Amino acid sequence: MGEQPIFTTRAHVFQIDPNTKKNWMPASKQAVTVSYFYDVTRNSYRIISVDGAKVIINSTITPNMTFTKTSQKFGQWADSRANTVFGLGFSSEQQLTKASSVNGTDDEKASHAGPANTHLKSENDKLKIALTQSAANVKKWEIELQTLRESNARLTTALQESAASVEQWKRQFSICRDENDRLRNKIDELEEQCSEINREKEKNTQLKRRIEELEAELREKETELKDLRKQSEIIPQLMSECEYVSEKLEAAERDNQNLEDKVRSLKTDIEESKYRQRHLKVELKSFLEVLDGKIDDLHDFRRGLSKLGTDN
């Protein structure tokens, strides 16, 4: 049949100091699982305890071995194979009684254990004192736990207030987001106006080229006019032609005047276009200043949200 599990409990595990053979050394930092098995074939018991991946007890208890109860909650036995003495500290006397009954031992066997265990009993008494102190520490921890609960309640209240504050920040964020959308729409409008300005600049460039062409044409007319005047002075015999030249000159002067009027009109258009550009630039600069202020406010608001999240 092999080994069969009997029962499992939890206990603090100790081993005797291998150097002094007197003092108990804790084999685990806290209570661990202790399992009891019975081997029908060999008529023996085995106690196994594992702390994480570490095996701290693997002891076979034969009928000739004694499990000694040294106090109401502490028992021990010597394992010659492991060359050590194990000790178990239970949370109740019932668990110790159940463990001690596994191989039929009782308090009477403990009383006949011999003088070799006298020192171990003394150490067990010290251990009982330590357990009593541990109970006092439990009371202290209960008080600290109550303090922590009260602190937790205060933190819960603060968290609720913080949540209300977060809701307020969310509303302000929503307002700022709407304002940001409005500003983005305004930017789109200004970008459209900037496109119009670019179109005006292109138109002005075309006007400048036209003015240059008209000025070149005017210079040609003036050169032609000078030539005609020279011809009228040099050839007196062509008086009849002079009248024709004069009429042509007058026509040229009228054309020149018309061209000058056109130049003045184009210059006026250019000045008006420059004025509109300056006006649009002023409006754009004013809007960008307002936008920078809003963006700074939005950054401050985000930093506030980040700080609030960190505090939480």
pLDDT tens digit sequence for 159-172: 888 788 788 888 88
For position 150, what pLDDT does the model report? Answer: 85
For position 106, what pLDDT does the model report? Answer: 42
What pLDDT, in 10s, does the model give residues 97-127? Answer: 888 776 444 444 444 334 434 555 555 565 5
Q: Which two tokens stand for residue 144?
A: 């600290």
**What is the CB neighbour count within 10 angstroms for residue 146?**
10
